[in-house]
Structure 1
Amino acid sequence: MNALPYIDAEALGRLVPVRRAVHLLEQALRDGLDPEETPQRPAIGLPGGQLLLMPAATGAYAGVKAVTIAPGNPDRGLPRIQGTYLLFDGDTLTPLAAMDGIALTNLRTPAVSALAAAHLAPEEAASLVVFGSGPQAWGHVLALRAVRPLERVTVIARHRGRAEALAGRCAALGLNAGTGDGPEAVAGADIVACCTTAREPLFPGKLARDGALVIAVGSHEPDVREVDDDLVARSAVVVESRASALVEAGDVIVPIRHGTITTGHLAGNLAELITGRVAAGPGPRLFKSTGMAWEDLVVAAAAYEAWT
């Protein structure tokens, strides 16, 4: 029996550049993929953290991502999040390939955000504030730069050295980049990307100006959030799917619990957004992502087809 092919992080990024990932995700939705029908992921509590299983299927392929989250790992010099993706033939369910699951996440999450930004961010958006300094923060700079004419990036992160390192990488792209000491930079931003492990809001929502886009991708837990009630109440809120958001997205679940908004406040899901069925309104726009299995499958299938 032949060994199962393994597509590593370097190959994945080469096979599916982020701009292509954005196109693939949009095309899947335009072809009729319904995010509301994606199976919910089970989260299994373990002594060291969590195990998440993310299954999805289309006609041609099926796949599952197994992800572990171990909060104590950074102190051991290990990644907090690790994982593997398995791709199967849709008809025979024969295993086709394994892939670096975290590289897949670090590609598809920014691509999903960029897809939302292509429909929600100002056409002339030139300034980005990014909270966080890890792979998702860097991925969002690259992805958002692919859909909007970014010129300025401000990095805000707890670790000053890492923030400066990310700003340096942005400057190497030709961007006017620097670090911020506080959330005040949000007031002048066209796009704000929240890519953190924060458990409480990162900035006062009143700082986000009308028309600006705030993207929140950092959490998938109902009690954890990166944005506050004020921002959610002022914003046109778009989610990947209502079903997943109302189970996993603390950024909207907590304001619902508080009575600040109702479920009817959600302006639409990603499929409705890209087909023109979302009315943005005069205030800010908020895209809340928890990550969904169909996104992994779309990108993984494209990587496999490009590899073969």
Structure 2
Amino acid sequence: MVQRMISAEQVLALGFPRAVEALREALGGGLDPESEPARSRVALGGGEVLIMPSGDDRIAGVKLVGIAPGNPARGLPRIHGTYVLFDAPTLAPRAVLDGAALTLLRTPAVSALGVDLVAPPGVRKLVVFGTGPQARGHIEALRAVRPIDSVRVVGRSHERTTRFAGEIAKAEVADADAVADADIVACCTTAREPLFDGRRLKPGAVVVAVGSHEPEAREVDTETVRRCGALVESRAVAVREAGDIIQAGLDETELVTFADLVRGTIPARPRLIKTVGMGWEDLVIAAAVVEALG
């Protein structure tokens, strides 16, 4: 079987609308995130390597992600990665994809699906915490599902935040108090403590939190979790990895999943979308990329 090498540009060319629909179709078709293999983490070199496998009876895949917190100071990306897509029956490699690009496409696409499932159709005001690639990707992805015409950016460095906002249409620099007027708040940071006071959220605001996958780290406070309720990829994974959920004291019975809403099995509409990233998401989008390339 021929093994294809797929570049970052080819991965990102799939675009957020098609990525969102691929995720929706997979969940609607019966994919069960609760049965996924657990992510492995190995401390190596200047950080850690994540190993994220997934598969079904047709295809299988594994992503290797290197996370080096010191890289930005070296002028390098914080995350590098490689994804290998296999034919499941034979386990012959079908394609090797740029893993960092796959993450840049997958994470905002999952968030956008969540927003499309729970946010009112006319919401327009977005506040984004973060100035990195995920913040940029979330702005684009959320604009693919909602008519966002106001973006306020909150960052640690005023210079970097000003530069970032200047590159985004209809964006401006703000501080954490901007959440009081936001329809959607997207947290795309490496923060380990809450970024804002949940009491400041207006009624009906939707919050997206993607920055942490460790029990000890969280981007939103207990007030936000309790006020909004939580939409997660998998109940089991959320109570094992999602610090925002764990530190707020929620258990599995208090969580709603993407699959619940896509399939219409639960009428609830939580307003906190907390994701940690799972292998099935990479597999679905990697397969969509390969199919789109023909």
Q: Do the two structures share a fold, i.e. TM-score over 0.5?
A: yes
Q: Which residue of the partner structure matches residue 307 of structure 1?
A: 293
Deviations 1:244-283 (A, max 9, x none): 1111100001111xxxx444322x11100222234446xx
- Aligned equivalent of 1:184: 177
Q: 2:15 aligns to what?
A: 17
1:61-82 Cα offsets, whole Å, 9 max, x none, are 1100000111222222222211
> 2:240: which partner in 1?
247
Specify the SS of the correspondent of 1:133: coil
CA drift at 1:164: 2.0
Give the letter for the 2:265 counterpart.
R
TM-score using structure 1 length: 0.92
Query: CA contact under 8 A between 2:28 and 2:259: conserved in structure 1?
Result: yes
Distance 1:156 1:293, change over 3 A: same
Residue 35 of structure 2 corresponds to 37
Note if 1:274 corresponds to 2:266: no
Distance across 1 between alignment mates of 2:168 and 2:264: 32
Count how many residue pairs are aligned between Structure 1 and Structure 2.
294
Cα distance in 2 for partners of 1:12, 1:262 equals 36
Aligned 8 A contact 1:238 1:273 in 2 = no
Gaps of 5+ in 1: none
Distance 1:178 1:91 in 2: 51
| TM superposition shift of 1:167 | 1.7
Match of 1:7 in 2: 6
Change (3 A) 1:68 1:23: same
Superposition deviation, residue 161 in structure 1: 2.6
Shift of 1:9: 1.2
* Equivalence map 1:84-163=2 (5 Å): 84-163=82-161
In the alignment, is the contact (CA less than 8 A) between 2:108 and 2:138 conserved in 1? Answer: yes
RMSD between aligned residues = 1.5
Question: Which secondary structure does the structure 2 equivalent of 1:202 belong to?
Answer: coil
Q: How does 1:218-237 map to 2 (within 5 A)?
A: 218-237=211-230
Query: How far did 1:18 drift?
Result: 0.7
Q: Distance in 2 between matches of 1:293 and 1:55?
A: 5
The percent of aligned pairs where both chains have the same amino acid is: 54
3-state SS of paired residue (1:199): coil
Structure-1 separation of matches of 2:263 and 2:139:
25
CA separation in 1, counterparts of 2:104 and 2:271? Answer: 23
Residue type of the alignment partner of 1:225 = R
Paired residue type of 1:32: G
